Amino acid sequence: MNFRLAEGDCAPSHFVLPSEPVATARNNPDPNPNDRERLVSGVPVGDDSSFELKLRPQRLAEFIGQNKVKENLAVAIEAARSRGEAMDHVLLYGPPGLGKTTLANIIANELGVHFQPTAAPLLQIKGDLTAIITNMQDKQVLFIDEIHRLQPVLEELLYSALEDYKLDIIIGQGPSARTHTLEVKPFTFVGATTRAGLISSPLRSRFGIVLRLEFYTPTDLKVIVERSAEILGVEVDDAGAEEIAGRSRGTPRIANRLLRRVRDYAQVRGAGKIDEPTAKAALGMLEVDQYGFDEVDRRLLLTIIEKYQGGPVGVNTLAAVLAEEPDAIEEIYEPFLMQAGFLNRTPRGRVATQLAYDYFKITPTRRQSSLF
């Protein structure tokens, strides 16, 4: 893959990792500003990143849930270790907050190699990516979050590094230009995305292992809540952990965030222990109901039912009424409502289901009944 150094870029012998702008996943700009302060969002908000560091499991055996993913990774990791080779490149995709970054870190820990995290939106020019790749250690794990947002020109540069562990660079301009090939040490590339459909086919074909992370069951989330509570030094009983897990929308990040808020409530207005009454009172104050819905979810469903007779209604119309971006509705609000069975996405638009009417205790009209 040819690469021409732009004016101001470094020569190959001078590539170094920048100290500040490159890239850690925790510095990744929020791709969904509308979702920034939402308590039941899977997207990191506030100080989630620093808080999650002490809660994240470091080994595959400590990771709860996602059994199929763990089994596939365990085989690939053991095979790579036994051969003494770099592991195949891995693509992790699924909704936010399910543990993609944690799994990437676990892969590095299990292989006993260095872990280099970064985020696609932070890589702006070829020199950024080249600096990272040329400074990697042998068999190192390179993790790029939001891989679907990687610029096409950087994607093309990545292809030869992933396949042949080489970078072809053109130095100079005009008749004096010359090609220089940089040898890259074998490495494992781990990409993570919430929108696998936006990844180009050539890039997707470079991944030897493609794994989808699913929403967690309440049983797994209960174990996660109990583990996090133990690390945080807060006492929680089974009923309290079940109450938090049941309202966490199948997402560990939300479970840990709700646990923090319930812990605060228990310390200020309770006896310091999280039991079922304390958890219900705290989550009621936060307006998170038994399904994990918050005010935004309820407003979206009520808009479809009351203003548009249950639908169908287009996403752009919904976005205008709710003062939200269409992408935010499609990526943030709809997936869980559809998974829970409260919303259907049809070619004609969004339709509220019978569960949504039952939730609000509204009786569908004759026209609305015909939709079900």
- Model confidence over 149-196: pLDDT tens digits? 888 888 888 888 888 888 777 777 777 777 777 888 888 999 999 888
Question: What is the model's pLDDT at position 45?
Answer: 55
How many Å apart are CA 107 and CA 60, to the nearest integer? 8
Question: What is the model's pLDDT at position 179?
Answer: 76
Residue 2, pLDDT above cutoff 50 = no
Q: Could you tell me what percent of the chain has a pLDDT over 90?
A: 14
Strand ranges, E, within 213-316? 235-236, 273-274
pLDDT in tens, 38-69: 555 555 555 555 556 678 888 998 899 899 99
Question: What is the model's pLDDT at position 286?
Answer: 86
- Asked if 104 contacts 190 with a C-beta cutoff of 8 angstroms, the reply is yes
Select the more confidently predicted residue: 207 or 367.
207
Residue 71, pLDDT above cutoff 90 = yes
Question: What is the model's pLDDT at position 224?
Answer: 92
Residue 331, pLDDT above cutoff 80 = no
CA–chain centroid gap for 150, Å, is 15
Query: For residue 341, how many other CB atoms are within 10 A of its CB?
Result: 11
Mean pLDDT of 309-336: 82
Mean pLDDT of 130-136: 84
Question: What is the model's pLDDT at position 14?
Answer: 38
Question: What is the model's pLDDT at position 371?
Answer: 52
Confidence of residue 132 (pLDDT cuts 50, 70, 90): confident
Mean pLDDT rounded to a whole number for the chain? 80
What are 310's two structure tokens? Answer: 């249950």
Lowest mean pLDDT of 110-124, 142-156, 173-187, 208-222, name the range: 173-187
Per DSSP, the residues of 116-133 read EEEEGGG--SHHHHHHHH
Residue 80, pLDDT above cutoff 80 = yes
Question: What is the model's pLDDT at position 51?
Answer: 55
Question: What is the model's pLDDT at position 106?
Answer: 93
Mean pLDDT of 138-142: 89
Residue 32, pLDDT above cutoff 80 = no
Question: What is the model's pLDDT at position 36?
Answer: 44
- Asked if 213 contacts 98 with a C-beta cutoff of 8 angstroms, the reply is yes
Question: What is the model's pLDDT at position 136?
Answer: 84
How many Å apart are CA 351 and CA 371, to the nearest integer? 8
| Pairing verdict, β 90-93 and 209-212 | parallel
Catalytic site residues? 100-101, 145, 194, 253
Give the predicted TM-score (pTM) of the model.
0.77
pLDDT in tens, 264-308: 888 888 778 888 888 888 888 888 888 888 888 888 888 888 888
Residue 1, pLDDT above cutoff 50 = no
- Asked if 256 contacts 216 with a C-beta cutoff of 8 angstroms, the reply is no
Question: What is the model's pLDDT at position 76?
Answer: 92
Question: What is the model's pLDDT at position 44?
Answer: 57
CA–chain centroid gap for 237, Å, is 29
